[in-house]
Structures are given as C-alpha cells and as structure tokens.
Amino acid sequence: MKNLSEPNEDYLERIFELFREKGYARVSDMAERLEIKPASVTHMIQKLEQAGYVQREPYRGFTLTKLGLKVGGKVNQRHQVLQDFLTLLKISPVAMQHDIEGLEHHLSDETLKALQVLVKNLTGSNKVS
C-alpha cells in the first residue's frame, strides 16, 4: 500500500464500503459518495484497473480484485479503529471525520494494533475492527 496515493486508498475504501452495503459499485455511486463528477471517477477507476486493484464488469459497474479487497479492507479497518478511538474521546462527528481522513493514511500497523487493544480494553468489547 505504500505506493498508493491517499486518493487511491480513499477510492478503494469507498468501493469496499459500497460492496459491503449494496453488493456492487457503480460510477454514479462513487461520484455521489465522494461528491465529485462521474468523469473523475471513471478516470480514477481506469487507473486502478490498470494497476490491478479494480476489474470492470460490463453493465454491472466494477469489482475489487483480491489486491483491491486487501487494500480497501485495510484502509476501512484503519478508519474503523480510529473512529472507535475518537468516539471514546468524545470527539465531535465533524472533527472526527476530518481527523480520520488525515490520520488513516499514515497509521502504521504497529499503532493500529495498539489502538485496537486500547479500545478493546477501555470498552471491554470483544469487537475486532
């Protein structure tokens, strides 16, 4: 994931979320979710497809490859751990979203694991983000 830009990771995370929610992803879904024009989404999807993260399916939109699922899931996991942690700190939703978007791309695996343990210990939860 080190060679992916933050926007690329954001796209993969959003596609991952759409699959989890709807079972599919389309350009229009992504444009709405990211609040950008469909042409911009199409351009990025083409780049991600060339890099091996996305596979387009005629008349159905696109899917994540194994590599795309791995990266999208990892970014999504980072997002969820940060959200759980910042929720414990009672950070406002607006500040939380801003902070998560800034932090999630720079969080090491070591820090991620430490935050997961901390959240688990503070909440007594067996939930694994």
Q: Classify domain 74-123 by CATH number.
A: 1.10.60.10
Instruction: Check residue 26 and give left, alpha or beta (phi > 0: left; psi -120 to 50: alpha).
Output: beta
Per-residue pLDDT tens over the stretch 70-83: 999 999 999 999 99
Residues 39-57: pLDDT tens digits?
A: 999 999 999 999 999 998 8
Show me where the domains of the chain are located.
6-70, 74-123
Predicted model pTM: 0.82
CATH code assigned to 6-70 = 1.10.10.10
pLDDT at 1 over 60: no
Sequence-distant (6+) residues with CB within 8 A of 106 are none
Query: Residue 56, class by beta-carbon neighbours within 10 Å (0-12 exposed, 13-18 middle, 19+ buried)?
Result: middle
Which structure tokens are listed for 25?
């992803």
